[in-house]
Chains A and B, each alone.
Chain A
Amino acid sequence: MENFEPKIVGFLCNWCSYRAADLAGSARIKYPPNVRVIRVMCSGRVDPAFVLKAFSMGADGVMVAGCHPGECHYIEQNYKAMRRFYMLKQTLVAMGLEPQRFELVWASAAEGQQLAEAIERMTDNVRRLGPLRWAENWADDPQREEALQHIVKEHEEALEVIS
């Protein structure tokens, strides 16, 4: 796995962590270019489906970042993000995903340095793990494809019966 550069999707909340990333930029703090940022209004907006979708599309890691507990712009929605995060993480780990591929980070608008460090840490961890190739594995399994097709067919049949 030489020269492997992981692709990590970062969901950053608009108020704290996105601004932390802005601050890291203004302060010219250097960190690896592997985390690509999607801005959401709140970490609570991060639907578990987004995370699954990111992995299924070929992301090697997903980072969710929000305001520190108690400092949420929306009062307490980061707690809800936290709740979902641990539930989803447990599920993903149970499915065989390495825990380092899915991280939750708190970064206030003043913590550019901390966010940069978190990105660096996560990039290193994921780089060591190697590519996830979830998308490929998914697409490569003909049986799974067949099974899916079967479900679709059944569904269509059922719909026909109803109508």
Chain B
Amino acid sequence: MAERVGIYVCHCGSNIAGMIDVEEVARWAGQSIKDVVVSRDYKFMCSSLGQKLIEDDIREQGLTRVVVAACSPHLHEKTFRRACQNAGLNQYLCQMTNIREHVSWVSTDRQKATEKAKALVAAAAERVKHQRPLEQGFVKVNPATLVIGGGIAGLQATLELADAGYPVYLVEREPSIGGHMAQFDKTFPTLDCSACILTPKMSEVGQHENVKMFTYAEVEEVSGSVGCFKVKIRQKARHVIFEKCTGCGICVEKCPRKVVDNVFEAGMGYRKAIYTPFPQAVPRTPVIDTANCTWFTRGKCQVCSKVCPTQAIDYDQKDEIIQIEVGNIIVATGWKLFDCTRIPQYGYGRLANVFTNMEFERMCNAAGPTGGKIVLRDGKTEPRRIAIIHCVGSRDVRHNQYCSAVCCMAALKFGHLVLEKTKAEVYSFYIDMRTPMKDYEEFYQRLLEEGMHFVRGKVAEVTDAARLPDEQGSLIVQVEDTLLGTQRRIPVDMVVLMAALEPQADAKELGLKLGISCSMAGWYTERHPKLDPVATMTDGVFVAGACQGPKDIPASVAQGAAAAARVAGMITAGKVTIEPIIASIDEQKCSGCRICNNLCPYNAIEYDEEKGVSRVVAAMCKGCGTCVSACPANAITGAHFSNEQIAAELEGILWDAIADGRPASAAPDGSKAPQSTPVGAA
């Protein structure tokens, strides 16, 4: 039975009608395209009257297929699908074609634009005839949520959800939650103490009845999809029995082995071989660093075991795999610092008194290795002049093109701390001063008044090779001052490099596990940069904080809360709709070659050894269709994007080319207007 197709061409006021002869398109489609029974144009198809037009035609004319030629399907596909559904037509039998964004708005020639619109309408009409009714599926949403990363963004998300009464699993790689914020001294621009505002949140998370924390643990494997993810977590061996340990700290105190702390203290201080990263750590349970512990390296010592009052030390503890099930996942894995040795001309790692921003952060911290004293690498000399170099590894085509967003403000904060704590002069070498958020510009103004020196220019080099007598024994910052238009050499005692924020080294790896992608720079890609900043392309996986791009604490907190709100919304709704656009394999045709198995990035195709065929796991298939186009036996069908549908679309879209190229003898039959060239008979 022939389909009965209805075609609706929208004027969109003058947005489309201004460049395309919509009446002509509708008239032509009604005459020339096979199986079209209604073809109309209307001022605003998306208006309730426009929708009613479609609904009435479906009911009265018995339409079995609908084509709407209007704006982008990304804008109004849902609207027209709903209209069809209202009139009892399956929503997947409605096809939109985009004659606004793709034709009228980008064209300058009315006639050519009209021709293009005709081709697109013909394509949609040919395609829609081959479309099949599809049903959306539903999946129940597990109310538990996994938060990956215990920095400020993750903590905020965790608390929002836990406070709302939903269970949360929080996974943190380090032995304690807190993230980078725990390392900071003060936060800009208010200069409140970082630990004072962070640690209450940490302990709240630690004690929350709805939160199950896994610290010193990593996500090993993620399977399933939105609503019902199955996650394997690797709980690394602490060698301290969590349940027995009271966190008294005697083991740490008595441990004879001191090692440089490259993580929390950024290499500026020491910790023991059994340690908690910092005094306010949550949980208080320490971890044995087996690479440095004397017992593990030389088989002697066991002091911690001897002094532990609760026999909590277990040298034989093994990594443990824990399985959990969650409905949603929030990724808040944060950032890592740019490796400053990659810019050798700044001398980091070669010149002792060149510091990174994290090192300086620890130095300023009253609980840090110098007790908050700003001193040179020797640990005692107070510097007289300090240079702060901005944009180290950011805004630099050789390293990272992006702006790291937080460094200008952090540099100003450092400037303030130096001026407050020492008598030193501070120079800031900046390219542009970026202080866009609330109260930030005021803070910059304040530093200008406090007497911080600002030199606009990218530093060429930091060197200890003195050329002038007063440069002896100093570090010399060579810079072009672009405001004065001159080269300057400024001798200083200490240089602080404002190193860029970079994506975590294993961000891509985790992204693969979760099925989310990274941008060129390596940050996780959000669903929409403006309108959907915390969702990702994978349903049920959300991003928060700096793992999505460099951002400061307020923005991270806001994003953590936003992600939590999205998850809470999903949990409250209770179920999610699953798009039926997925692949399926015809077992009769499948030869079991398994070519498709490895093509699927979601491992949604499994192989049935017994039958010797592959099978698509519907819940895991995302519908990209790569396997469909790879199957040598044509055994795989991509619902809503089948070979027949796309072939039909091609026939429609090239109707004029087909008409031009067709020899006279091969005239088609079955067309209802033999004088004009029919579409869809090729």
Binding site for B on A (CB under 8 A): 5, 7, 9, 15, 18-19, 21-26, 28-31, 33, 36-42, 44-50, 53-54, 57-60, 68, 70-77, 80-81, 84, 109-110, 116, 133, 135-136, 139-140
Query: Which range contains the number of B residues in contact with the other chain?
Result: 35 or more
- Chain A residues with CB under 8 A of B384: none
Given contacts A22-B98, A45-B641, A139-B663, contact A80 B106 (CB under 8 A): no
Chain A CB within 10 Å — which of B515, B657, B663 has the most? B657
* Pairs across A and B, CB under 8 Å, 24 listed: A18-B72, A24-B101, A25-B106, A29-B106, A30-B107, A33-B106, A33-B107, A33-B109, A36-B123, A38-B650, A41-B641, A45-B625, A45-B641, A49-B629, A54-B654, A58-B654, A58-B658, A71-B525, A74-B626, A76-B601, A77-B599, A80-B599, A109-B529, A139-B662
Contact check, A45 vs B629: say whether CB atoms are below 8 A apart. Answer: yes
Contact check, A40 vs B641: say whether CB atoms are below 8 A apart. Answer: yes
Residue of B nearest to A58 (CB): B657
Contact check, A22 vs B520: say whether CB atoms are below 8 A apart. Answer: no
- Chain B residues with CB under 8 A of A42: 624-626
Contact check, A9 vs B650: say whether CB atoms are below 8 A apart. Answer: yes
Q: Is B481 an interface residue (CB 8 A)?
A: no
B262 to chain A, nearest CB (A): 29
Residue of A nearest to B525 (CB): A71
Contact check, B101 vs A38: say whether CB atoms are below 8 A apart. Answer: no
- Chain A residues with CB under 8 A of B73: 39
Residue of A nearest to B15 (CB): A25
Contact check, A50 vs B650: say whether CB atoms are below 8 A apart. Answer: yes
Contact check, B123 vs A73: say whether CB atoms are below 8 A apart. Answer: no
- Chain A residues with CB under 8 A of B116: 33, 36
Contact check, A36 vs B119: say whether CB atoms are below 8 A apart. Answer: yes
B210 to chain A, nearest CB (A): 32
CA of A42 to CA of B520, assembled, Å: 18
B618 to chain A, nearest CB (A): 16
Query: A-side binding surface: helix, strand, loop or mixed?
Result: mixed
Contact check, A59 vs B657: say whether CB atoms are below 8 A apart. Answer: yes
CA of A68 to CA of B657, assembled, Å: 31
A49 to chain B, nearest CB (A): 7
- Chain A residues with CB under 8 A of B501: none
Given contacts A22-B101, A33-B113, contact A7 B657 (CB under 8 A): yes
- Chain B residues with CB under 8 A of A47: 628-629, 643, 646
New contact pairs (4) apart from A41-B625, A59-B657, CB-CB < 8 Å: A25-B98, A37-B102, A38-B123, A50-B650
Contact check, B106 vs A116: say whether CB atoms are below 8 A apart. Answer: yes
- Chain A residues with CB under 8 A of B468: none
Contact check, A21 vs B102: say whether CB atoms are below 8 A apart. Answer: yes
A62 to chain B, nearest CB (A): 10
Contact check, A77 vs B601: say whether CB atoms are below 8 A apart. Answer: yes
B449 to chain A, nearest CB (A): 39
**Contact among A25, A54, A110 with B100 in the assembled complex (CB-CB below 8 Å):** A25
- Chain B residues with CB under 8 A of A71: 517-520, 525
Chain A CB within 10 Å — which of B107, B626, B647 has the most? B626
- Chain A residues with CB under 8 A of B525: 71
Chain A CB within 10 Å — which of B102, B109, B662 has the most? B102
Given contacts A24-B101, A25-B101, contact A57 B654 (CB under 8 A): yes
Given contacts A7-B654, A135-B661, contact A24 B106 (CB under 8 A): yes
Contact check, A77 vs B626: say whether CB atoms are below 8 A apart. Answer: yes
Contact check, B517 vs A57: say whether CB atoms are below 8 A apart. Answer: no
Contact check, A80 vs B650: say whether CB atoms are below 8 A apart. Answer: no
Contact check, B74 vs A77: say whether CB atoms are below 8 A apart. Answer: no
